[in-house]
Structure 1
Amino acid sequence: MTNTPLTDLGWSDTFASHVTSEINETVQPGRLSDVHRDRVLAKTAEGDASLTLPAGMTTGDLAVGDWVLADLATGQVKTLVPRRNVVRRKAAGNDMRAQLIAANVDTLMIVTSCNADFNPARLERYLALAASSDALPLVVLTKADLADDAASYRREVERLSPLATALTIDARDMSELATLAPWLRPGDTAALVGSSGVGKSTILNGLTGATALTQGIREDDAKGRHTTTSRSLRQTTCGGWLIDTPGMRSLPLDNSADGIAQVFADFDGLTDQCKFSDCQHLTEPGCAIQAAVAAGDLDEKRFHRWQKLQREDQYNSETIAEARARHKNFGKRVKSAMKEKRDKP
């Protein structure tokens, strides 16, 4: 791609306001399309560029979709332009860091399928992720042609949250893929997220003409298989941009309290009616949440999912100091309990 206007790449006054007189004939804005271990690829007004990073910056600090200022003459990134938003999750395992998924995203396209992959609890996580990232959530339900009642899946998604908008498509049908065009206008950016095999690569291929490898549908679970192993930014035939991501086996939330509150707005609206301001919504008298569940006004399974997400987000959002303090206190309790048992006659 050559001589592409920055606005078509997603550049806006918001980003320009953070940039001073550094821009000149050689130092130009570039948008990251690929992040590798030791270098990044960027799209600039002059074309594609392969860039190295300055001392003190690692590829772990960057996400596909980021804007940087780069010296095109030397092929080096100079600085990261402040993000408009970023999609992140907690890294796997005991790592306290957040893993960056994509940056400067307008729409989070949450892809699932009208079969056994459909999972309300996982969709609520993605909806909370979108809300906490300040990205518009769009649930794309694929394999609609294989479902007896695809519309029932769409209705179930829309019952999960007032934020949820859902579309059912056959990702192999170009006329149905065209229904995604309003979210992919020139300058717009959407990120495809979801489990492996739900059709993300098929959507990418259809909307961009890319050649991401996809394999056939397995008869036992109706899941396609693909080989997407990294994130990339690609232009669509609609003019907008798609960030493809590998399938996620898990989605631990990180600093997503606001997003959870938005997805479960019906629950949060009742918490002010509880008798006690510190109500945990378990067995406390005068709990408005428990009363609504008992009356059938709130779904009990969804209530338990709400509590689980809140506990998990609080745990994952701990600072390193808070985690160490908690582990230290836990160790003290264990030692105290063991001493008590040893001292008993």
Structure 2
Amino acid sequence: MTPERFTPELLALGWTDDLQEALNGALDAADPQDRPDLHPARVAGVGRSSLRLWAADGEHDALLTGAMRQDPDTQPVMGDWVIAQTLPDTPKRRVTALLPRRTTFARAVNGGLGRQVITANVDTVLIVTAPDQDFDLPRLGRYVAAVQASGAQPALILNKTDLTPDPQRYLTELGALAPDAPLHAVNARTGAGLGGVRALLRPGLTAALIGSSGVGKSTLTNALLGREAAQTGGLMAEGLGRHTTTARTLYRVPGGGLLVDNPGLRDIAVWDPEGVAADPARIEEIAADCRFRKCTHTGEPGCAVQRAVARGEISAGQVQAYQARRAPARRGAGRPRR
């Protein structure tokens, strides 16, 4: 252990004992002459061939080694911790290694056989929706499953509560998706209900916002930061918000914590290594006991598949991988079984 690595700056960025142990191992394996020039840093911005890093001594631009650029499993993403080497005669640094990820938020690609990592080392993912045409319970269920498969904790946020006279109806449906997850009704534009959301942002922890375009993620980001950091759009026809976030951005939250604002996700196919080898026949056997004939296995009452997930008989990722191999999910519940 090298206590000097536990600086207040690194701790504020989410530095942990596990990361320190991994760093120590990497330094032990490095050339002794290089060790003084190797330092941990967190990825705060991702370009095509360069990164923006936050480190104990400030912000730095960094280049990737050729091997890291070619291997998608070692390409750093927003939120990753890396080892960066200082270079002579240039302010830029070179990323030499990727430190182990505590959580990995990813989506399935290529029919569920591959994955695209979106963010890493996130503690809580705020799933944002609104009581308008965006409110799609099956899709929100897939968001929840993706967060759970990542290792992070989901939190459900109903924004724009002024759009409905009965927000409780929406909250009840959201709560059924993840009964143990924090659930908050807010109006980011006026600040109503934000106290509970702010409580989720604590020193050393990282939160991320996900949701489809126009649900008010940028407005919520600005409200949580207390400043106009993220660009917001006006309203389109029928009260729908405009999409404004086009790249992932990492922010420092006043009072401690970090916040990632993600571009809008139209939908997500859940990546879970266990789900790749899921037995469709097993899930279909369980689904035969669902209350609804066309159950989507996301938030309907009487869903036998979700009961099996809660009991640990199958994983949420297995269910989502199974659904990804079927026809596109039907919206809403079907008729009760007779």
**Shorter-chain TM-score range:** 0.7 to 0.9
Matches of residues 1-345 of structure 1 in structure 2 within 5 Å? Answer: 5-20=9-24, 21=27, 25-58=36-69, 60=72, 61-73=75-87, 75-91=93-109, 97-174=114-191, 176-208=193-225, 209-218=227-236, 220-255=237-272, 280=282, 289-290=287-288, 292-293=289-290, 298-302=291-295, 310=318, 313-314=321-322
Q: Separation in 2 of the partners of 1:205 and 1:311?
A: 35
Gapped regions of structure 1 (runs ≥ 5): 262-276, 318-345
The alpha-carbon deviation at position 163 of structure 1 amounts to 4.0
Q: Is the 8 A contact 1:49 1:72 kept in 2?
A: no
Amino acid at match of 2:77: A
User: Could you tell which deviates more after superposition, 301-310 or 123-132?
Assistant: 301-310
- Secondary structure class of the residue paired with 1:191: strand
Q: 1:142 to 1:183 in 2, by over 3 A?
A: same
**What is the CA deviation profile of residues 207-226 of structure 1, one whole-angstrom value per residue up to 9, with x for unaligned ones?**
222432211122x3322113
TM-score, normalised relative to structure 2: 0.76
Give the CA RMSD over aligned residues. 3.1
Distance 2:132 2:317 in 1: 24
Deviation, 1:97, is 3.5
Q: What is the one-letter code of the residue matched to 1:145?
A: D
Please give the per-residue CA displacement for 1:230-259, whole angstroms capped at 9, x wherever unaligned. Answer: 112111123111111111122112226579
Please identify, of 300-309 and 238-247, the stretch whose mean Cα deviation from structure 2 is larger.
Answer: 300-309
Change (3 A) 1:249 1:121: same
TM-score (norm 1): 0.74
More helix by share: 1
Per-residue CA distance 1:44-91 (angstroms, 9 max, x = gap):
010011000112012852210000011134511121111111100023
Gaps of 5+ in 2: 1-6, 299-304, 307-315, 326-338
Q: Residue 192 of structure 1: SS of its match in structure 2?
A: strand
Shift in Å, 1:40? 0.4
Do the aligned residues in 1 keep the contact of 2:149 with 2:317 (CA within 8 Å)? no
Q: CA deviation at 1:160?
A: 2.5
Identity of aligned residues (%): 34
User: Does the CA-based 8 Å contact 1:213-1:226 persist in structure 2?
Assistant: no
Pick the structure with greater CA Rg: 1
**In structure 1, the residue corresponding to 2:220 is in which secondary structure?**
helix
2 CA distance for matches of 1:114 and 1:232? 26
> Residues 95-123 of structure 1: CA distance to partner in whole angstroms, max 9, x if unpaired?
95411110001001111112121111011
Aligned partner letter, 2:17: D
Residues 186/56 of structure 1: CA separation in 2 closer, same or farther (3 Å cut): same
